[in-house]
Structure 1
Amino acid sequence: MQTARTEYEITTQSFEDEFEQLFRELLHRLISFLVTAGARLADAEDAVQMAFIELARVWRSVEHPRSWLRKVSFRMWTKVLTKNKFDDLVSEFPEGVSHEQVDEIIGQSQVVQVLKQLPPLQQAVMAFEYDGCTPSETADAMGMPAVNVRQNLHRARANLAKVLQQKGIH
């Protein structure tokens, strides 16, 4: 009986330590990712928190928690915001972003300001691209065929080239 209790306590502590480390490491990055994709800060924070809650429920069955969290965070945001209608994605960049870590990640360049000039679906696929996802990973997270993701990436890059050219940035 004592061995089972000790094993339970070790397993529980291990889960808590790993989960807390993952939370600290990814919280602001995931919020920034969703803001880059077009979410308002409050919506991004809610979606990421819901994803972490869900991860705690299924922790033992998730092999790759980082990519799982990105996928679930994005889906939580789109479910709440648009009920999976990507044509209606928010196109406004939230004003007054207040978290220093989010500001640091987003503020390193003018990426968000440029991306917000794209149509919402192109903005979303570029956010995944910017975050290092492959088209297949993006397709899986967005629930669409990879060919559609690649097509929208192609269009987004062409549109970004036009925007940058208009701004005199090459």
Structure 2
Amino acid sequence: MNELEYEAFFRKDYPALVRHLAILGCRDEAARDVAQEAMVRLLEQDGNVAHPRAWVRLTASRIAFDNNRRDIRRSQLSWQEANMPAAAPLGPAEQSAHQSEARQVLELLQGLPPRQREVMAWHFDGFSAGEIATLLGAKPATVQSNLRHARERLRQAWKQRTHRGGGKTI
């Protein structure tokens, strides 16, 4: 990957990588820092990475895990809402509604068990169950099962949330 290809990749994939890390449970600022560190490490590979999207996610996940373990040793973590980047520029009212809904979805995702949350993060980034299985060292059937259970938990949690709000999201 030459410098121009790397720059294009960074601009395109960085927001999705931050979202991936937020789904895994990284706080907003930490997700950005970890994503940047993973991107820097990709650059240091001098083009020796066959699948950069998968590579930066695995690398970022490992960095985040190491950081999280270190932070837990120091003190108890405090979870904060992450700002998930918008796909297109929105007006103030639309942006507020989008951010509110994104926070709600992120809260529901963070309520999933860790493995289901991890599999969903990869799935949201467009990886197939087979690719996820290979990257995480799991069986494809296990990944499919985690996706199915995660979707069901999310569906139930969303129903409960919208039911409490009288048919409207909270």
Q: TM-score, normalising length from structure 1?
A: 0.69
How far apart, CA to CA, are the structure 2 residues paired with 1:81 and 1:20?
28
**Aligned with residue 86 of structure 2, among 104, 128, 131:** 104
RMSD of aligned residue pairs (Cα, Å): 2.9
Q: Is there any run of 5+ residues in structure 1 with no aligned partner, and where?
A: 1-13, 84-89
**Aligned with residue 156 of structure 1, among 145, 150, 159:** 150
2:10 and 2:39 in contact (8 A); partners too: yes
Identity %: 30
**1:94 is the counterpart of 2:76:** no
Letter in 2 for 1:135: A
Distance 1:47 1:137, change over 3 A: farther
Offset at 1:145?
A: 3.4
Secondary structure at the counterpart of residue 33 of structure 2? helix
Aligned residue runs from structure 1 range 1-170, under 5 A: 15-82=2-69, 93-95=79-81, 97=82, 102-104=84-86, 107=99, 109=102, 110-167=104-161, 168=163
Which shifted more, 144-153 or 124-133?
144-153
Distance 1:161 1:124, change over 3 A: same
Q: Is there any run of 5+ residues in structure 2 with no aligned partner, and where?
A: 71-75, 88-97
Distance 1:45 1:104, change over 3 A: same
Offset at 1:126?
A: 1.4
How far apart, CA to CA, are the structure 1 residues paired with 2:16 and 2:64?
15
**Count of matched residue pairs:** 146
How far apart, CA to CA, are the structure 2 residues paired with 1:141 and 1:71?
8
Q: TM-score, normalising length from structure 2?
A: 0.69
